[in-house]
Structure 1
Amino acid sequence: MSYIKITKRFQDLSLEQLYQILQLRNEVFIVEQRCAYQDLDHLDGQCHHLMMYDEGRLIAYARIIPPGIAYKEASIGRILTHANYRGKGVGAMMMKLILSDLEDLLGNRPVKIGAQLYAEKFYEKFGFVRSSDVYDEDGIEHIQMIKSF
């Protein structure tokens, strides 16, 4: 399969891209995970948005958060893969692209994430290590993880 990756600053997103992002985040984080939470958190405007498309359809997404906004370190968040593309290596491909973009945009600096607990082993494959106890965020168990370059 041939996927297309696009990374843009918030102000450079088209209205169609923004709609696709918000729709997919809503589909995965609110509907699929049955979690009522405030997705629009005023961080999007300060982030780079990494989108992966398959034949014009948004299939994976993440936002890159500069240091000093969510944490003192750079961060990534809202990482997701469309349900129809899970188990096909898209998530791993997406993480490699995210880490490459992070390095290009921000250099080799530590990256901190708030990860859902079930995904801990996935993030460990990319060099992230747990840096907190388990905590509840919107009814879902999370941990903080950090990656040093």
Structure 2
Amino acid sequence: MLQIQVKTFKELTTQELYNLLQLRSQVFVVEQDCVYQDIDGKDQKALHVLGFKSEKLVAYTRVFKSGDYFKEASIGRVVVQAQERQFKYGYDIMKASIEAVKAHFGESIIKISAQKYLIKFYNNLAFKAIGEEYLEDGIPHITMVNNT
């Protein structure tokens, strides 16, 4: 079971910020072989949902209230360290992120830009695909919405 912490940008320690940027880079840039600008100036507006196992950051998302990223509240940068995925921590971090949107922002409609190969994963979390597939940083994506 993950130990979950939800923090604003200002509440993050320097080490936590370093660790979350390292995890995002490890998965999105190196593992997925995708050159893109991860540090996009939006982390300061986000709530950061950190998932720890034995005090090591192994899962992460960032969440936004409506209007800060999309018109709706949103969850992004969903990441689980490769060797930890077998434990289904993606579900734990996403459930905590959905809960953070409801608890911190009082919002129930959540929009995400999902990598297409993860549609079934997000369907299992009550997200439904809307619209057409599109490329984002060379990777097929689809817009999905959770309205629970």
Q: TM-score range by the shorter chain?
A: over 0.9
Runs of 5+ consecutive residues of structure 1 not aligned to the other structure: none
Deviation of 1:87 after TM superposition, in Å, equals 2.1
Q: What's the counterpart of residue 27 of structure 1?
A: 26
Shift of 1:31: 0.3
Quote the residue 2:72 is aligned against: 73
Partner of 2:124: 125
Letter in 2 for 1:44: D
Query: For residues 133 and 30 of structure 2, what CA distance do their matches in structure 1 show?
Result: 23
Pair 1:108–1:69, CA change in 2 (3 A): closer
TM-score normalized by the length of structure 2 = 0.96
| TM-score of the superposed pair, with normalisation by structure 1 | 0.96
State the SS of the aligned residue for 1:31: helix
Question: In 2, are the aligned partners of 1:73 and 1:109 still within 8 Å (CA)?
Answer: no
Q: Structure 2: which 5+ runs fail to align?
A: none
What SS does the corresponding residue of 1:60 show, helix, strand or coil?
Answer: strand
Q: Provide runs of 4+ in structure 1 moved above 4 Å.
A: none
Deviations 1:24-75 (A, max 9, x none): 0000000000000000111100000000111121100000111112110000
Alignment root-mean-square deviation, CA = 1.0
More strand by share: 2
State the Cα deviation string for residues 77-97 of structure 1 (Å, max 9, x = none): 000100011121211111111
Structure 1 residue 108, shift from structure 2 partner: 3.5
Aligned residue pairs, count = 148
The residue type equivalent to 1:20 in the other structure is N
1:7 aligns with 6
